[in-house]
Amino acid sequence: MDKFVLLLKSVLLQALFAKDDMQRSGFRSMTKGAFDEYINTNPFFITVLAGIIKSNPRFIQKVRFIGPISAMLGDDLFWNLLKPVTLYSSLILFLLFRNWILIIPLIMYNIVTFLLRYKGYDYGISKAGQIKNLYNEWYFKKVQKSLHKAKVFLFGILSVFLAFLLIHYLQKHILYAIIISLILTLTLILKSRAIFIIGIILTLISLAKL
Amino acid sequence: MSSVLLLDLKIVLHSLVSEPVFIIPLISFLFHIEITNEILIIIIIYQILSAVSLQMGKYVPPEFSTGAVVSFILFVFNSTCLSSSILMGLFASLLMIPVFEVKIRLNKILGKRFRYSLAVLISIFISIAIYIFVFLVFILLSNVLWGGLTQNNNLVIFSLLTLPFFYAVRLKSGNEPLYFILGVTFGGMLTWINLFYF
C-alpha cells in the first residue's frame, strides 16, 4: 500500500515544482517530512530516493549526493533518448497506418517508466548502501548507446516521410522536390537538424504560390 | 479537455499523452474530425520541435504541445489558414515560457502557504485555467490579426516571423550521420514499397 501511495505521489511530484527548491515540496510529502531541502532529480527516479530515506532516515547526505546524478542520468535517458524514440516511432507508425497502432510505443514507454517508479522504492531500500553505483548499472549503460542510434535512425525515416508528404501536399511540383533534396543534403553535410526544420517552414511558405 | 490533457506535460504523470502525435489524433477522434494532410503537417512540425526541446533542470523550453493544440484549434474550429495557425501556435509555445516561469514562482508560495494536497489541487486548477486562457486569447487574437489579411500577406508575415524563431531554437547537432543515412534509406524503401505495391 505504501508503495502504491508513493507511486501516486511520484506522479504528482512536479505539480509544485519551484525554481529555487525544485521538487522539494513533492519529495517532502513522499518522505513524510524526513527530507525538507532543495532537491533536483528526474521524476522517474524519485521513488529510488524515497527508498534510500526509508531505509535509513540518516541517509540525507546520500540523497544530496545521488539527486543531481539521478537527474543527469534520468534527463538523458528519458527526456533526451527514450522520449524522442517513442515519439518518432509513434509518428512513423501513424503516418504508415493512420490508426491506433501508434499507441504501442506509448504503452511500452509507460510500462518502463511506471515499473521504474514502482520498483524504484525497493531498489532504493536494498541498494541504499551502494547507491553511488547507480550510474554504473548495466541497463543504463547498454540502453543509452543503442537508444541514441535508434533515435537518429528513426529521425532519418521520418525525414523521408515528411519530404514525401510535403511533395504530395504541394501537388508533386518538381521545384519542391529540389528544395527538399537540397535541404536534406545540407542537413547531412552540416550535421544539423535545424536546417531541415527551416526547410519545412520554407516549403510551407511556398504554399503561397499555389 | 485539451487543457486537462496538457497537464501531463509538466504538471502530472509525464506519460507523453500530451505530445502532439497523441493529443491531436485523440481530440480528432473524440470530435469526429478527419485527419487531413494539413493536420498531419501540424502534427509533424510540432512533434519534431517538441521531441528536441527538453526540459532539463531549471531550463524552461517552449511548450510545443500547447502550440500544436492552439494551431489545431485555430485550423479546425476557427477556420484560420494553415500558415497562420502554425504561426499562432509558435507564439503560443513561446508565450508558455514566461507563463510557466510565473507559475513555478507561484508554486513556491502555494507550497509554503497551503497543505500539500490542497496546494497540488490549486496548482492543477491554476494550470488548467492558464491553458484555457491561452486558447481563448489566441482564438481572439487570430480573428483580430488575420481577419483583414489576404492569404499572401499571411504567408509573408509567417515567413518573416518563423525563420528567426527556428534559428533561435536550440537543436542538438546530429553526431551519428551514418544512422541518419540508414534511416533515410530505410524510409525511402518503405515509401517506395508503399507507393508501388499498395
pLDDT tens per residue across span A128-168: 777 777 767 766 777 887 888 888 888 878 877 776 766 66
Average pLDDT over chain B reads 78
Indicate yes or no: CB of A204 within 8 angstroms of CB of B16. Answer: no
Residues 6+ apart with CB under 8 A from A67: A39, A40, A41, A49
Measured from the Cβ of residue A192, the count of other Cβ atoms closer than 10 Å reads 16
At B161 the pLDDT is: 45
Question: Could you report the predicted ipTM of this complex, rounded to two decimals?
Answer: 0.83
Return the pLDDT at A3. Answer: 78
Q: Which residues of A touch B163 (CB under 8 A)?
A: 198, 201
Q: What is the pLDDT at residue A142?
A: 76
B159 to chain A, closest Cα gap in Å = 6
pTM of the complete model: 0.82
CB contact under 8 A, A21 and B108: yes
A18–B16 C-beta distance less than 8 A: no
| Confidence at residue B130, expressed as pLDDT on a 0 to 100 scale | 92
pLDDT at B168 over 50: no
Amino acid A105: pLDDT:
92
Percentage of residues in chain B having pLDDT higher than 70: 80
- B82 contacts on A by Cβ (under 8 Å): 204, 207
CA distance B81 to chain A (A): 11
Of the segments A20-24, A177-181, B19-23, B167-171, which one has the largest average pLDDT value? B19-23
Report how far residue B116's alpha carbon sits from residue B155's, in angstroms, rounded to the nearest whole number: 48
Dist CA B37 CA B33 (whole Å): 12
How far is B137 from chain A, CA to nearest CA, in Å? Answer: 24
Question: What's the confidence (pLDDT) of residue A203?
Answer: 60
Interface of A with B in 65-124 (CB under 8 A): 71, 75, 79-80, 83-84, 86-88, 90-91, 94-96, 98, 102-103, 106, 109-110, 113
Position with higher pLDDT, B176 vs B26 = B26
Nearest CA in chain B to A13: B12
For residue A75, which residues of chain B lie inside 8 Å, CB to CB? 54, 56-57
Give A171 to chain B, closest Cα distance, Å.
12
pLDDT digits (tens, 9 = 90+) for B98-153: 898 898 889 888 888 888 888 888 988 999 999 999 989 988 888 777 665 555 54
- Whether A172 has its CB under 8 Å from any CB of chain B: the answer is no
B125: which 3 cell numbers? 486548477
A106 vs B13: CB contact, 8 Å cut-off? no
CB contact under 8 A, A15 and B17: no
Residues of chain A with pLDDT under 50: 210
Q: What is the pLDDT of residue A4?
A: 81
SS3 A138: helix
Q: Which of A3, A74, A108 is nearest to B15 (CA)?
A: A108
Confidence of residue B165 (pLDDT cuts 50, 70, 90): very low
A11 CB neighbours in chain B (<8 A) are: 12-13
Spatial neighbors of B54 by CB under 8 A, at least 6 apart, are A75, A79, A80, A83, B61
